[in-house]
Amino acid sequence: MKLREGLKLTRTERFKNSVLDLDPRTREKLRKQLGILISNPRHPSLGVKKIKGTKSIFEARVNDHHRFTFEYGEKNEILLRVVGPHNSALKKP
C-alpha cells in the first residue's frame, strides 16, 4: 500500500469507550502511537499487521501489553476500532 498524505483518524464509539478503560500512562502512549500512525503507518514501533481471518482489519502496538485495531477507509481515513490489552483487543477486533 502506498503511503497516503494527510491521513485522518475516525474513532468508533467502541474505540472511544475502550480508551476510557486505559490508565493515563497507556493513554499517553496511545496518543503518541496514533501520531506516528498518521505520519507513517509503516513505522516499526507500530508493528502493524493484518489480523488473520479478516479482510481489512489491522492491529498495531501501543506498548508491550496493549494493541489497537483499525481499518483503512475512503479518502485517507483510518477507522480506529478498539484498543485494549493484547488478547482482548484482538479477540473481537
Structural domains of the chain, with CATH: 8-85 (3.30.2310.20)
Q: In whole angstroms, what is the distance from residue 27 CA to residue 82 CA?
A: 13
* Helix, strand and coil percent figures for the chain, each rounded to 5: 30, 30, 40
Backbone φ and ψ for 42, nearest 5 degrees, come out as -100, 10
pLDDT digits (tens, 9 = 90+) for 46-89: 999 999 999 999 999 999 999 999 999 888 899 999 999 988 88
Which pTM value belongs to this model? 0.88
Residue 14 gets which letter from DSSP?
H
Mean pLDDT score of the chain, rounded to an integer? Answer: 91
How far is CA 75 from its chain centroid?
Answer: 18
